[in-house]
Structure 1
Amino acid sequence: MKKLFSALILTLLIPLTSYAQDYSDGNGYTTIANPVRTDDPSKVEVREVFWFGCPHCYHLEPYTQAWKKTIANNDKVDFNYMPAVFGRNWLAHAKAFYVADLLGIEDKVHDDIYTAIHVKRERLNTEDSLAAFFANYGVSEDEFHKQFNSFAVESRLNQADARIRAYGVRGTPTIVVNGKYLVDASTAGGNENIFNVVNYLIKKEEQNK
């Protein structure tokens, strides 16, 4: 796994100039017809629209984690995950993401949820099964149920759903750059190139500021 991450980081550090002439609307990324306002105009906002139950999201995650390391000290880039709800079975996972975020343990449970679902074959698609899972991180069942059904979680779900619809995202995983561009494996030519395109778009947006 360490070798994989090292290889991914090296790939993501390839100079952006080598890709600049290759990317355009429809080739590497798709331009959003009506740009969506970002939270902080002083930064370039990057959002990964995902679903814990999505095998494609699971396979992209090592690339996402490797890329996050390359921007760890870049205070001009703001990255966040944004869970999608494109089906009834997606809702519990989205709510679990926001519960973890509100409790300050999202970084601890994110990879573990993927592993539980895609490696250990645990479904984790009900409130009770997720409550039992969160108990492993010191969250009581009462606290989990309270947060799972809270106004704060519902509010974040509604805000995310509105943004995802405004972006025009139709599948996961999709990376949204600064509310203006969509990048996925199809437009970028594979998972291994997604964050090269993202880096190109970040540089493009930084130059436009």
Structure 2
Amino acid sequence: MAVAKTVGEDKYKAAKMALYAKIHDEKTKFATGDELIRFGLSQAGISQEEFNRLKGTPEVKQLLAKWDQGIAIAKIQGIPALVVNGKYLINTKSIRSMPMLDEMILELSKK
């Protein structure tokens, strides 16, 4: 995903949406990490050669480090993870309705 993001936002979005649909909507389980990568690359229109060339670049490494830091700070453990103002992680299992979620986000955004 980081390679796709550095190549272009359109490539990143194509891979992200295709992976989301495959994993969450179709309930597909990839047998290996390589299978997942190949699928994402095909959806983004990025060749294996381009991926291999870019995956070790400083730009990709920096983006991965930034994402890792964000996950650690937010303590994200699953999807969806909703973080308000960069400091409040909403436990989505406790949400019973969209109005309840709206109220919670509004309340937390004022803190």
Q: CA deviation at 1:140?
A: 1.6
Give, as a single letter, the amino acid of the residue that structure 2 aligns with 1:171.
Q
Q: Give the Cα separation in 2 of the matches to 1:163 and 1:201.
A: 19
User: In 2 relative to 1, CA 170–120 (structure 1 residues): closer, same or farther, beyond 3 Å?
Assistant: closer
TM-score (norm 1): 0.41
Q: In the alignment, which residue of structure 1 is the partner of 2:6?
A: 102
Question: Match of 2:77, SS?
Answer: coil
The percent identity for this pair of structures is 23
TM-score (norm 2): 0.67
Q: Is 1:201 equivalent to 2:108 in the alignment?
A: yes
Higher relative contact order (CA 8 A, sep 6+): 1
CA deviation map 1:35-61 (0-9, x unaligned): xxxxxxxxxxxxxxxxxxxxxxxxxxx
User: In 2 relative to 1, CA 148–184 (structure 1 residues): closer, same or farther, beyond 3 Å?
Assistant: farther
CA deviation map 1:103-157 (0-9, x unaligned): 2222222221122234162517424652354234321211122233333222222
Q: How many residue pairs were aligned? A: 106
Question: In the TM superposition, what are the counterparts of 1:168-183 in structure 2 within 5 Å?
Answer: 169=75, 171-173=77-79, 174-183=81-90
Tell me how large the CA RMSD over aligned residues is.
Answer: 3.0
User: In 2 relative to 1, CA 129–183 (structure 1 residues): closer, same or farther, beyond 3 Å?
Assistant: closer
Q: Give the Cα separation in 2 of the matches to 1:157 and 1:194.
A: 34
CA contact (8 A) 1:185 1:194 kept: no
Q: In the alignment, which residue of structure 2 is the partner of 1:81?
A: none
User: In 2 relative to 1, CA 185–130 (structure 1 residues): closer, same or farther, beyond 3 Å?
Assistant: same
Q: Can you give the 5+ residue segments of structure 2 that lack an aligned partner in the other structure?
A: none
Q: Can you give the 5+ residue segments of structure 1 that lack an aligned partner in the other structure?
A: 1-96
Q: In the alignment, which residue of structure 1 is the partner of 2:21?
A: 115
Structure with more of its chain in strand, by fraction = 1
